[in-house]
Chains A and B, each alone.
Chain A
Amino acid sequence: MDFQVRREHRLLIQMYRAFAQNEVRPLAKEVDEQERFPLETVRKMARFGFMGIPFPKEYGGQGGDNLAYILAVEEISKVCGTTGVILSAHTSLCAAPIFEFGSEAQKQAYLPALAKGEKLGAFALTEPNAGTDAAGQQCTAELQGDHYLLNGTKIFITNAQFADIYLVFAMTDKAKGTRGISAFIVEKGMAGFRIGKKEEKMGIRGSATCELIFENVNVPVANLLGREGGGFGLAMKTLDGGRIGIAAQALGLAQGAIDETLAYSKERKQFGKSIASFQNSQFQLADMQTRTDAARLLVYRAAALKDAKQPYSVEAAMAKLFASETAMDVTTKAVQLHGGYGYTREYPVERMMRDAKITEIYEGTSEVQRMVISAHLLR
């Protein structure tokens, strides 16, 4: 696989970095501690084009590619995991499937507002009894003339009450199992649709994660995304893309933790020397960066494959598996190298460690990624 970070990507990284340092980093601690959704940051990101990076200009996007998009998630996540996942969920899980699977009318109706960041997107697949086993959907959508009657509950939905457009999965034909699942574009404010309980989380605490409750919501037939019964495939394909976004988030968290640790280890003195001068710190840092760079290559490869319109499902799974486990490993080591201070909220590495954990879980646990990869190997 041939891929490279081109000159435009390098200039973008420079811009993303400046934005992350000046606009995102100063809020990261507060967003985490107060479990506050950084709406003002989302608005700023919208102003500079972050919310529609890989979509064509005719749909309000930036005319960029997936590599440019995941570089944004990486740079933002270096300083704030919460903001990283807001961007990733919006782009990969809502705007992307509408762009990829939507009819022209649906794209015209929804994509420009999403891509410009005027509206925020969310993705609602998980249910209390349908997590990794997404096929166990209990939400139902019953066709009644010109609309579907949507009923059920979704949980752990990122962007929740701050989103405007939701991609919701529901059974249109229970008898058909996964082939009976369909995808719907649901808008905020539709009668019978409300936000339920808010989760109190270990990490990415600023990202709103809530229950969505649908009680006899009338969803117009025009809002069916893809064909009836095609929802499961659509969800899986969407998650393939989403995994690259989460892998980029994990990558950013790992690199962010290394950057913090490098700075700290040069500063912090023990036994009269900076801790960077001890071989243990040096070897740990070497391992951390090597692993993170390996993860980076996997993540960029997956994005480049998607840009080249080649199959990328397995590569995305590998990228997410390796990057998220790297993030967990590296952030844990970063806390250790910070010693007692690393365990305090005075330094950001403990937050990064808490944020990293979720990357091994959402949008397919590490176990699911291994299933995807091994199924491909053994087919």
Chain B
Amino acid sequence: MNIVVCIKQVPDTTEVRIDPATGTLIREGVPSIINPDDKAGLEAALALKGAVGATVTALSMGPPQAEIALREALAMGADHAVLISDKRFGGADTWATSITLASALRRLGFDLILCGRQAIDGDTAQVGPQIAEHLGIPQVSYVSEIQKVGDRLQVKRMFENGYQRLSVPMPCLLTVLKEMNAPRYMNVGGVFDAFRAEIPVWTVDDLDVDRAQIGLKGSPTRVKKSYTKGTKSAGKVYEVEPQEGARIIVEHLREKFII
């Protein structure tokens, strides 16, 4: 079984702070990590490899430094890694990203594609299903368990209020939840091996992809503006009767979309 895991290198958004003076994001010193849902996908692939045998390839699209995320994948036990990196892919939205990844996946070949449910920097959850559409293969998202049964996969698909057990033919694409497993640590020797391994870097020229559909200019959506939500200042304190306090709380929670 050929498993390809799509991984994205992301800034650890839990470490991101807002500069109180300028109201902008402080990106400096924020560690780059493998997106947590993607790392769960990698663990799921390695677990399948252990259980039924598989070749696991980690695939990432990003700037040259995303290579380190692939080295980490190798150090965890992936067999191969491929980086898609080219300035011409820059500024891609989920459509252009999924078009690009789909072309790389066609070149790699696959029985199973695993993606994380969503990336913690973009939170779109769109690239996986869009890849599946471009490749014309079935998808299941929000997956929390995977088992190989015969020539199909049995998966547990989570909903807000329950779950389904589904049987999926291969080839297919699954997007997985980080809650599904605890990714293994890298192995010390694996780290040294990972840095000896060669990671091919594919550019536009290595892929059979429509150049009108990649990068910023191939992206249907664009960012009109972005802004920070304002920094946290000392909150308001009201000294009131309990009834009034309850009313104030509900009002604020509604304003903040918490309820």
Residues of A within 8 A of B (CB): 7-8, 11-12, 14-15, 18-19, 48-50, 53, 57, 61-64, 68, 72
Contacts and interface: CB of A to CB of B under 8 A. Distances in A.
The 5 closest A-B pairs by CB, nearest first: A49-B188, A62-B189, A62-B188, A15-B186, A8-B195
A53 B193 CA distance: 13
A273 to B, nearest CB: 14
Contacts of A11: 68, 71-72, 75, 186, 191, 194-195
B185 interface: yes
Q: What's the dominant secondary structure at chain A's contact region?
A: helix
Given A8-B195, A15-B75, A64 B188 contact: yes
Chain B CB count within 10 A is highest, among A11, A48, A50, for: A11
15 contacts: A11-B191, A15-B75, A15-B188, A15-B191, A48-B186, A48-B188, A50-B188, A53-B188, A57-B189, A62-B187, A62-B192, A64-B191, A64-B192, A68-B188, A68-B192
Interface of B: 31, 68, 71-72, 75, 184-195
Contacts of B72: 11, 14
Contacts of B190: 49
Contacts of B186: 11-12, 15, 48
B38 to A, nearest CB: 16
A249 B190 CA distance: 24
Given A7-B68, A11-B71, A15-B75, A61 B195 contact: no
Given A8-B191, A11-B71, 10 more contacts: A7-B195, A8-B195, A11-B195, A14-B72, A19-B185, A57-B189, A62-B187, A64-B191, A68-B191, A68-B192
A303 to B, nearest CB: 15
A8 B192 contact: yes
A361 B71 CA distance: 40
Nearest to A72: B188
Contacts of B68: 7, 11
Contacts of B75: 11, 15
Nearest to A15: B186
Nearest to A69: B188
A61 B189 CA distance: 8
B196 to A, nearest CB: 9
A19 B71 CA distance: 18
Contacts of A8: 191-192, 194-195
